[in-house]
């Protein structure tokens, strides 16, 4: 008997003592997919052939060697990272990762053909795809506004881009046989005080109404709307706030996206989940880690990360929630960033499945809050690591720190030559 199995059997017995079936938890993990973001691999650069660019709302800091320079390198890096991550997952693409054969193609002229390589690669590797319009870092945002712009011609351009992306996402969902979530985030806003907030938000509403006139089968492609409190260059005002998008999503049966870094540092996404799911059929989560602000740090295992997934499990909501990652760190090995962030998110999911949620609720309903707190605290020292190691071993990925040397080997053999 190897050490992983031996440790697992001991942990299984301990968990059984509090009414938790670890085998059942491991079986449930097989259906948990995380949408792993492609932009960690190239620092949010994309593969567009550009005449000019305007920086609006996105910035990756650092200059660690080995950044993917083209789609083939990025796909290879993603697969290497996935070899360290248990389970079968999805890749989250942005429109700026189109492969146009070296031609300059405007964003409102994109088509599915430019993503056929990505789709074929995903099918070959048993992966799903998610998608995002790229509504930032573009000359047609020189005033800081896109779908909310006071200029009708600017709004028309971005409406066309988002609609094309929705069509591409639908075709991706058809091709892969897995629902494609098309998430809309725009960086529209103002660095300083804004006088016409109402007018800009009316413009955004009208643009969204125009976009959603085109209907798609929600079993194949689902639309999501992503709010934000503030961002780079939009410190004072963001058009697409939580209040705006939550209202729009409820009235128009769209999915809301909650990003863990898009709110005030004292706000917790874990506290918002149950409220949103009370009224929305589905929810998209962008799992990230803000440090003092929306800095998109690599996901670390911490209390808020665990609280997010505990909420999903306690609400029996895993079937209604899509989980994606959204961070980019150019100061460390990019393969390591993917592996660390995704493994941590999966650890939090597994721990949530190992929680005796019903027992906690029983204590609560009986008014026995001391027992509720006591059990919550005792869970923190349960032998979760042995169950996680077993999950990794059964999924044929390295156990514990075993992946680190393999990552460094890839850096020496592949990344160092770029």
Catalytic residues: 185, 226, 228, 259, 262, 286, 294, 296, 326
Distance (Å, rounded) from C-alpha 300 to C-alpha 261?
13
Do 330 and 62 contact (CB within 8 A), yes or no? Answer: yes
Angle of CA points 92, 295, 249, to nearest 5°: 55
Residue showing tokens 């003592």: 17
Q: Exposure of 365 by Cβ count < 10 A (0-12 exposed, 13-18 middle, 19+ buried)?
A: exposed
Residues 146/149/152/153 CA torsion (nearest 10 deg) = -40
CA pair distance 375, 372, nearest whole angstrom: 5
What are 121's two structure tokens? Answer: 């690669």
Alpha-carbon gap, residue 316 to 210, rounded angstroms:
35
Asked whether the beta carbons of 343 and 85 are under 8 A apart, the reply is yes
Cβ atoms 137, 53 nearer than 8 A: yes
Burial per residue of 37-57, b for 16 or more beta-carbon CB atoms within 10 angstroms, e otherwise: bbbbbbbbbbbbeeeeeeebb
Q: Which of 236, 242, 277 is nearest to 262 (CA)?
A: 242
Residue 135 forms beta bridges with which residues? 186
Helices (H), 212-333: 242-252, 273-279, 303-314
Tokens 């190992």, residue located: 354
**Do residues 270 and 304 touch, judged by C-beta distance below 8 A?**
yes
List 224's β-bridge partners, or say none. 183, 255
- Tell which residue, 72, 169, 178, 78, has the closest CA to residue 126: 178
Check: CB of residue 311 under 8 Å from CB of residue 273: yes
Q: How far is CA 218 from the centre of its chain?
A: 19
Phi, psi at 284, each rounded to 5°: -110, 130
CA nearest neighbour of 178 among 119, 260, 137, 251: 119
Record the tokens describing residue 151, joined without a space. Answer: 């200029």
């Amino acid at each position: 008997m190897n050490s992983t199995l031996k440790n697992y059997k001991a942990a299984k017995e301990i968990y059984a003592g509090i009414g938790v079936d670890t085998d059942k938890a491991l079986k449930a993990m097989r259906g948990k997919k995380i949408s792993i973001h492609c932009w960690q691999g190239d620092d949010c650069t994309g593969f567009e052939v550009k005449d000019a660019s305007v920086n609006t709302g996105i910035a990756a800091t650092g200059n660690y060697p080995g950044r993917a320079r083209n789609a083939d390198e990025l796909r290879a890096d993603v697969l290497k990272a996935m070899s360290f991550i248990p389970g079968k997952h999805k890749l989250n693409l942005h429109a700026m990762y189109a492969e146009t054969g070296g031609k300059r193609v405007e964003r409102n002229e994109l088509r599915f053909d430019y993503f056929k390589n990505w789709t074929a690669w995903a099918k070959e590797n048993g992966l799903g795809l998610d998608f995002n319009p790229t509504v930032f870092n573009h000359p047609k945002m020189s005033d800081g506004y896109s779908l909310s712009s006071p200029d009708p011609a600017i709004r028309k351009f971005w409406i066309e881009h988002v609609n094309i992306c929705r069509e591409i996402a639908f075709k991706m969902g058809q091709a892969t046989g897995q629902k494609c979530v098309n998430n809309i985030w725009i960086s529209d806003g103002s660095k300083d005080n804004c006088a016409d907030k109402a007018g800009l938000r009316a413009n955004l509403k009208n643009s969204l109404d125009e976009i959603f006139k085109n209907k798609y089968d929600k079993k194949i492609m689902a639309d999501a709307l992503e709010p934000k409190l503030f961002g780079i260059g939009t410190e004072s005002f963001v058009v697409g706030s939580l209040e705006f998008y939550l209202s729009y999503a409820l009235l128009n049966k769209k999915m809301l996206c909650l990003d863990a870094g898009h709110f005030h540092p004292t706000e917790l996404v874990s506290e918002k989940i149950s409220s949103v799911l009370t009224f929305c059929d589905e929810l998209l989560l962008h799992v990230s880690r803000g440090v003092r602000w929306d800095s998109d740090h690599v996901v670390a295992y911490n209390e808020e990360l665990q609280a997010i997934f505990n909420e999903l499990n306690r609400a029996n909501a895993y079937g209604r929630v899509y989980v994606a990652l959204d961070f980019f760190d150019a100061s460390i090995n990019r393969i390591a960033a993917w592996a660390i962030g995704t493994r941590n998110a999966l650890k939090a999911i597994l721990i949530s499945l190992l929680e005796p949620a019903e027992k906690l609720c029983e204590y609560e309903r009986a008014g026995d809050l001391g027992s509720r707190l006591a059990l919550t605290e005792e869970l923190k020292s349960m032998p979760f690591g042995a169950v996680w190691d077993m999950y990794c071993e059964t999924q044929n990925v390295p156990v514990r720190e075993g992946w680190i040397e393999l990552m460094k080997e890839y850096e020496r053999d592949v990344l160092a030559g770029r």
